[in-house]
Amino acid sequence: MLGLVKAATPSAPPRRESRRLSTRRYIAKVRRMTKSRVFALSVSALILLPIMFGGLAGCQPSEKNKNTEFDVASFYKGKKIKWIIPYSPGGGYDEYARLLSPYLRKYTGARFDILNLPGAGGMRGANELFASPSDGLTIGMINGSALVTNELVGVKGARYKIDEFEFLGRVVADTHVLIVSNQSGYKSFEQILNAEEEVKIGATGLGGSTYLDAVISKEAFALNLKIIHGFDSSSVIRQAMLRGNIVGSWGSWGSAKDAVDDGRHIVVLQSGTERNADLPDVPTVFEMIEISSNQERTLAIVTAWESLNAVGRPVAVAPGTPADKIQFLRAAFDKAMHDPELLKDLKQAGRAISYASGDEMSHIVESATTMPDDIEQLFVNAIKGEL
Amino acid sequence: MGIIEGLVSGFFQAISLEVFPFLLVGAVFGLLIGVIPGLSGHFAMAMVIPFLYGMEPGAGIAFLLGAHSTVAQGGGLTAILFSTPGTGQNAATLLDGPPMRDQGLAGLATGAALASCFLGAAFGAVALALLIPVLQQVVLFFGPPEIFVLAILALTFVAVLGKEDLTRSMIAGLSGLLLAMVGLDNVTNQERFTFGLFELRDGLSLVPVILGLFAVAEMFDLWVRRGSLPGGLHANRLSAKETQKQIFQGIGAAFKHWWLVLRCSAIGATMGLIPGLGSAPAAFVAYGHAKQSSKNKDTFGKGNIEGVIGSEAANDAVEGGALASTLAFGIPGSSSMGILLAGLFILGVETGPNIVTYNVDIVFLMLFTIIIGNLIGTVVGLFLVNPLSRATSLRASILVPILLVIVFTGAFAVNRSGFDIGVAIVFGVLGYLMKELGYSRAALLIGFVLGFAVDKNLYLALQLSGPYFLLDPIPLTLAIITLAFLGYNVWTIIRDKRRAKDNAR
């Protein structure tokens, strides 16, 4: 075994032998060099120049603190802003960013460089954004709801604090829907509520949003559900629905849309305080509270659940970013999100939009992170799979 | 619209002036992406997506599918010429491609690879068109229990891959399975084997592992031997004319072995239908089959053209199967299929079982796009072989650093993570040791790739059907096939050993 290791480490080729003899001459050469004046001048220049430039650079912030809007706009003109996306190219977050960036460019004057940093279910991107320099040149789109739940549970590896991000605004908060296969025999939420046998609901990973929705809805409405989690992705869940292995699952309306339009899946329940324009006949979770036996508790759970969903997919910058830059970016984001051309693009791409301003986001995050203790404990247990 | 009308319409759309230029550009783009190690079909399509906004559906489909279909062809070229799989699917080609190159038969290998890719893709595309209407029934047979047993069956093909030593390949294969366990478990949310490292939460990424095991390990090997790629001792420098002649011979060989191509394409297309298995296992299973059914089993692994033909035909046919499954359900079978669906949605193409009823010309357009795209890829690939094979005869001291830079960039590019470069290096060392000690790296890879499928599906199968899921018809049949296959191989080895002992006496 050792012989192999020896073979693996390359031995120095023979040519070097001749150089070793002239090492002494080389050292002598260096000695001569250091005594020359030219050498001393260049070394001092090399040391002094960075100090000078550093000093000049140090002077600049005080000039910037003049705080006029014009200055901030000219700061951003022509600059490159990094936009962190916590998922791989080709996914939903990526698509939103690529659709949005030309409009943000229009209103900020800066170029956007989209940086895909996938990993840890969106946490890597959030960590990177949190740790990024607070010069206003890095923004990120984060999976807000997932980050809140991760922080609630105290997941290892979460190197951010959700309420310390400076929010520019929210792009979308997906409507969550409970879908069932059209062959399952269930056509409405009441039927599921009154089901005699266990209703098999599929979910992806433990602690993920489809799992959480299933467990919380089960708890809130005392449903007779058997939650089968561990499916790789929502596509695999849909296949299992087709096969009849499971009755249905929770998911976002955007991804369920085409199967529902086809008639293969039926939406029985939706999240939100108001019915989504696409789903006028489907009751919301709030409407269903009145059928519950313990209305107060159900209301508390559903309110907390809704505040969690409301966080959605916001865009944020790192904590400590100067207020004038935040204002500028927020204003630009607001204008971009109301641009009729963008709305047209989003419609063509089939992507929903539910804008909330940066200010509103801070309130939304606050209500998502402050729940009554018993409800919080419920959610923590739910996420951990201990319910 | 009737089938014939759809066929004709699809064909003319594919060669029309509005569509064909995009097809051409897409196919060449895909080929180049495939040649660069570490960049895969997933990446190629993600790069194409931004261009789709505002494109006509026909042109957009041609661009998208053209890029997607030629990636595996490009990957096959680098697998043979540089011992570096361009994509995961081409890992099986590494078993016989580089040995052929070392024997001075690089042209033959690449010609055969390109042609089998084309034939496999054509088969896959045709299968796609034929299967979509009936697909609903077929795929619904494959639930978690069936996929689990199928994955185990694919794992037993590891026994076939082991050149002489069954034990060593089993060790390698099962180690691969173990390595797939690293990361956050979907079911219990527990971190397994991550040693507290944040970067390992998602497990080991496939691309850095492949690049490390095969590319970096080859670089170490080259460095130690200090030769150039085509064999350390006798650098078989082929002239351009000689290479060209071989390429045509290779193409001819692929057509000559048409029955093998057909069988391996069928294996590829079938495995592509099953979501979640990925494309790498299909190539290995086909390779295993080619070896089993060959008359000269012992030359496999030392440069048998059938090995190259089998794996390349399968890995292109896989795409056809995966596409059929994706289109029929509108449910993506893999991440690159997910991107494809997103692209189709942007173009306004509706998917789902109704696609055959309402949009049969689109189906045929896709079919012809794949076939013509692959043809373009083959032709362009032919011209690429000569300059690329020049590169292989460069000195190791030039070649190794350049290739390492490309490899490390590829490893980094997947997740934009420096950690993956470290993974590639670690697996490079592991791969080199395995090579020197005679453990099958291919077995490790197939174990690694299938590990996820085995783990998740076993859990789901148990949840859904209880422990007796093995008694359901399809899992039972597959389980019996697995045991029979394993038993046969073990018996053959014992018999051969006994014969050798008798002969020695």
The verdict on A8 touching B (C-beta cutoff 8 Å) is yes
Q: Which residue has the tokens 């174990």?
A: B447
Nearest-by-CA chain B residue for A230: B187
Contact B415 A118 (CB under 8 A): yes
pLDDT the model gives residue B261: 92
Average pLDDT, chain A: 83
CB A216 within 8 Å of CB A301: yes
The verdict on A7 touching B (C-beta cutoff 8 Å) is yes
What's the CA gap between A292 and B484, in Å, rounded? 57
Set of chain A residues whose Cβ sits within 8 Å of the Cβ of B351: 258
| Distance (Å) from the alpha carbon of B161 to chain A's nearest alpha carbon | 25
Set of chain B residues whose Cβ sits within 8 Å of the Cβ of A350: 345
Nearest-by-CA chain A residue for B137: A243
What number is the average pLDDT over the span A4-15?
Answer: 47
Q: Is the pLDDT of residue B454 over 90?
A: no
Contact B346 A115 (CB under 8 A): no
Contact B223 A231 (CB under 8 A): no
Give me the residue spans of the domains in chain A.
73-173+312-382, 176-308
Gyration radius of chain A's alpha carbons: 28
pLDDT the model gives residue B344: 80
Element spanning A82, H or E: strand A80-85
Contact A95 B188 (CB under 8 A): no
CB A128 within 8 Å of CB A352: no
Q: Is the pLDDT of residue A323 over 60?
A: yes
User: pLDDT tens-digit profile of B464-500?
Assistant: 877 777 788 888 888 888 888 778 777 877 887 888 8
Set of chain B residues whose Cβ sits within 8 Å of the Cβ of A90: 42, 45-46, 49, 335, 338-339, 342
Element spanning A270, H or E: strand A265-270
What's the CA gap between B207 and B263, in Å, rounded? 28
Give me the residue spans of the domains in chain B.
3-504
Q: What percent of chain B has pLDDT over 70?
A: 89
Handedness of CA A194, A195, A201, A206 (dihedral sign): positive
Contact B140 A95 (CB under 8 A): no
Instruction: Give chain B's length.
Output: 505
pLDDT the model gives residue B390: 74
pLDDT the model gives residue A226: 92
The 10 Å CB-count burial string (b at 16+, else e) for B335-361 is bbbbbbbbbbbbbebebbbebbeebbb
CATH of A73-173+312-382, one of 3.30.70.360, 3.40.190.150, 3.40.50.1470, 3.30.365.10: 3.40.190.150
Set of chain B residues whose Cβ sits within 8 Å of the Cβ of A257: none
Q: Give the SS3 label for residue B189.
A: coil
Nearest-by-CA chain B residue for A150: B189
What's the CA gap between A60 and B213, in Å, rounded? 50
Q: Which residue has the tokens 């066929």?
A: B7
CB B422 within 8 Å of CB B408: no
Single-letter amino acid code for the residue at A361:
M
- Written as six digits, the tokens of A30 are 């260096």
Nearest-by-CA chain A residue for B433: A4
Judge residue B302's burial from the number of C-beta atoms within 10 Å of its C-beta, 0-12 exposed, 13-18 middle, 19 or more buried: middle
Reported as a pLDDT band with limits 50, 70 and 90, residue A61 is very low
pLDDT the model gives residue A11: 47
Nearest-by-CA chain A residue for B275: A236
Q: Is the pLDDT of residue A130 over 90?
A: yes
Set of chain A residues whose Cβ sits within 8 Å of the Cβ of B49: 89-90, 95, 98
Where are the alpha helices (H) located in B140-279, listed in sequence order? Answer: 144-161, 166-179, 206-210, 217-225, 240-256, 258-273
- Predicted TM-score (pTM) of the model is 0.76
Q: Is the ipTM of this complex over 0.90?
A: no
pLDDT the model gives residue A236: 79
Q: Give the SS3 label for residue A314.
A: strand
Give me the half-sphere count of Cα atoms (radius 13 Å) on the Cβ side of residue A53.
6
pLDDT the model gives residue A58: 45
Looking at per-residue pLDDT, the higher value among B4 and B176 belongs to: B176
User: pLDDT tens-digit profile of B82-99?
Assistant: 777 777 778 788 888 888
pLDDT the model gives residue A141: 94
Contact B417 A349 (CB under 8 A): no
Contact B186 A229 (CB under 8 A): yes
Q: Which of B74, B85, B115, B128 is nearest to B369 (CA)?
A: B128
- Written as six digits, the tokens of A90 are 């080709």
Reported as a pLDDT band with limits 50, 70 and 90, residue B105 is confident
Reported as a pLDDT band with limits 50, 70 and 90, residue B276 is low
What's the CA gap between A23 and B279, in Å, rounded? 56
What number is the average pLDDT over the span B288-303?
Answer: 78
Reported as a pLDDT band with limits 50, 70 and 90, residue A321 is very high
Neighbours of A38 (CB within 10 A): 8
What number is the average pLDDT over the span B352-376?
Answer: 79
The two domains A73-173+312-382 and A176-308 share their CATH topology (first three levels equal): yes
> Which residues numbered 236-255 in A keep a CB inside 8 Å of some CB on B?
236, 238-240, 242-243, 245-246
What's the CA gap between B221 and B219, in Å, rounded? 5
Reported as a pLDDT band with limits 50, 70 and 90, residue A63 is very low
Residue B68, Cα to own-chain centre: how many angstroms? 13
Nearest-by-CA chain B residue for A10: B224
pLDDT the model gives residue B84: 75
What is the DSSP annotation of A24-62? HHHHHHHHHHHHSHHHHHHHHHHHHHHHHHHHHHHHHHH
| Distance (Å) from the alpha carbon of A230 to chain B's nearest alpha carbon | 5
Reported as a pLDDT band with limits 50, 70 and 90, residue B139 is low
Set of chain A residues whose Cβ sits within 8 Å of the Cβ of B196: 156
Q: Is the pLDDT of residue A314 over 90?
A: yes
Contact A238 B42 (CB under 8 A): no
Q: Is the pLDDT of residue A339 over 90?
A: yes
The verdict on A218 touching B (C-beta cutoff 8 Å) is no
Neighbours of B392 (CB within 10 A): 20
Q: What is the CATH number of domain A176-308?
A: 3.40.190.10
- Inter-chain contacts counted by CB atoms under 8 A, chains A and B: 133
| Distance (Å) from the alpha carbon of A133 to chain B's nearest alpha carbon | 19
Q: Is the pLDDT of residue A168 over 90?
A: yes
Set of chain B residues whose Cβ sits within 8 Å of the Cβ of A118: 415-416
Set of chain A residues whose Cβ sits within 8 Å of the Cβ of B189: 205-207, 384-385
Contact A117 B335 (CB under 8 A): no
The verdict on A97 touching B (C-beta cutoff 8 Å) is no
Handedness of CA B27, B30, B32, B34 (dihedral sign): negative
Q: Is the pLDDT of residue A1 over 50?
A: no
Nearest to B338 among A90, A258, A345 (CB): A90
CB A129 within 8 Å of CB A168: no
Q: Is the pLDDT of residue A100 over 70?
A: yes
Looking at per-residue pLDDT, the higher value among B89 and B72 belongs to: B72
Within 8 A by CB and 6+ apart from B219, the residues are B400, B403, B404, B407, B428
Contact A245 B352 (CB under 8 A): no
Q: Is the pLDDT of residue B346 over 80?
A: no
pLDDT the model gives residue A64: 47
pLDDT the model gives residue A59: 45
